[in-house]
Structure 1
């Protein structure tokens, strides 16, 4: 824990948000040297050069880790987006014309948000497939059992709606706040500070993951 705090500059309270044994609402926090991501079961610390994913042995994270590895392994030229403003002073290296390389931290955030959205969409589809038959059954026969089935589905729907709304509100808050957006632009801050992040120097071209264990037995997997 202390090694991660020293490396990322995060306070202990931010790391507690990533503890799978504790329940915290979904949120994305931009700090000076790192971004804290807590979206459903995706809990990660993102810097300008690497991402530490909490509890990588969780089976629910397997699709996320696979997509993250695949996305980060793509050549930068393949993942370029049209530039909308700025240039080198934005911390991006132009490829050609108006194209530029998206910052590492934004690539990771994109995967986190896409995975969370897909999981919620899947939950919605499953709930929908259960709700219609239950309502049809209740229409056909009003009974305690059928009423209880519909009530349970309604409770799950309310909980899911609340989780979706929390993620949506957090994203909208970030997009509406220029200060928060600037805080998350870690690559640009490093460029302005003239800091060379040495953590990526020894990473091979395949960008494999390697386990990272600290003395508190908190398990992370790191991608660079």
Structure 2
């Protein structure tokens, strides 16, 4: 019996030490690292344009953004997900080309910030957010008499007091504080005062930057491909060679790939424009403001928020979606829809040009093939008549005694050769005329 079986049948008492030495697992650090593979570096950009790298796992991102796990899988770089723009209750999920981001009402979570293609986007987003921050501060100073209690929270048309913020959607830049009655009154007055300068909310600024970066990247690739395609097709038209054909084949493969990518982005924007409810989900700041106002009304009426939280949340969510006006977001999306549609039309025109060039090349190849066939017919005809002459010469060279050989002279021999050549030429011309009559030759 093996020792391991004996130990299972006869367990040792608790006080007996185990003689087997405990060897530490050398793979323990690797197992720990494998267990924490869900932790990824996120670039967190706040409403003032400041950026910092945050190591966060999936569950941490879910708590801070309010997103379910299935929405986070869209941003997984290991999975191949189509172009997607999702509006949720507290965040917007964007997966467009190299842009993989989560937008809340106060921050942007960017996943692949180390990608060289993302660096220009981050710089542009920071510039826009900084301009928005300065514009909001200037507007607050003009509308509220340099009230220093206002901070950098955004609504569609008027800035809102950070002291009135009910929740911290960004998870990395806490701004929620308890507001007294005087501060709440100032915040509500600022929200209702909508006669001043119109300022886009934070989430729309970030959303526009993401869509613009994706559309600009696709348009730049399409423009570069168009230039390379025209150059390669012109070379192929002037000279048909294996190298030129291979270049055109590679360009056509790239054209098919980029057309599919552009088509996906266009379809996603078209889907958003056709569904007002999806666009209403993206008004994160307005929903936050209205939820806070509703909570203030409920608190003033003495309602128990704990007992009716689920019903109140669903009712508020439906009321918010009905009240939000999506016209401004629709105009923003339509501008980039026109841009991406123009890029798609440009690629379609390029594809037609490639197909026309292929047809032209096929016509040229068919013409050359016809010329080769005609040459083959002519050579075959010449071979036929030459064969007849060879047969006649062979018959005359047979070693038999005939009177023609005895009385023939050199002049007679030249007459025979000349007559044979004339007969061969005559037969050849007759054969070529018959082929042209039957339209076998041009």
TM-score range, shorter chain: 0.7 to 0.9
Please give the alpha-carbon distance, in whole angstroms, between the structure 1 residues aligned to 2:234 and 2:96. Answer: 34
TM-score using structure 2 length: 0.40
Aligned partner of 2:206 in structure 1 is: 108
CA contact (8 A) 1:49 1:104 kept: yes
- Correspondences of 1:1-224 after superposition (within 5 Å): 1-76=58-133, 78=135, 92-93=157-158, 97=195, 99-194=197-292
Deviation, 1:14, is: 1.2
Greater CA drift, 103-112 or 136-145? 136-145
Q: Following the alignment from structure 1 to structure 2, what is the Cα–Cα distance between the partners of residues 72 and 112?
A: 13
2:100–2:110 contact (8 Å) kept in structure 1: yes
Q: Is the 8 A contact 2:156 2:199 kept in 1?
A: no
Residues 77, 101 of structure 1: 8 Å contact kept: no
Q: Return structure 1 stretches of 4+ with deviation > 2 angstroms.
A: 75-79, 94-99
Aligned length, in residue pairs: 185
Shift of 1:98: 5.7
TM-score (norm 1): 0.77
Name the counterpart of 2:420: none
Shift of residue 76 of structure 1? 4.8
**Structure 2 unmatched runs, 5+:** 1-57, 137-154, 159-190, 294-442
How far has the Cα of 1:57 moved from its partner?
Answer: 1.1
Checking the alignment, whether the CA contact within 8 Å between 1:28 and 1:170 is kept in structure 2 is yes
Higher relative contact order (CA 8 A, sep 6+): 1
Structure with higher helix content: 2
Q: Which of the two has higher C-alpha Rg?
A: 2
Aligned residues of 1:92 and 1:103 also touching (Cα < 8 A): yes
The verdict on how the C-alpha distance between 1:66 and 1:46 changes in structure 2, with shifts beyond 3 A counting, is: same
- The offset of 1:128, in angstroms, is 1.3
1:37, 1:44 within 8 Å by CA — same for their partners in 2? yes
Partner of 2:400: none
CA contact (8 A) 2:84 2:96 kept: yes
Gaps of 5+ in 1: 80-89, 196-224
Cα RMSD, aligned residues only: 1.9
Deviations 1:103-139 (A, max 9, x none): 1100001101111111111101111121111101111
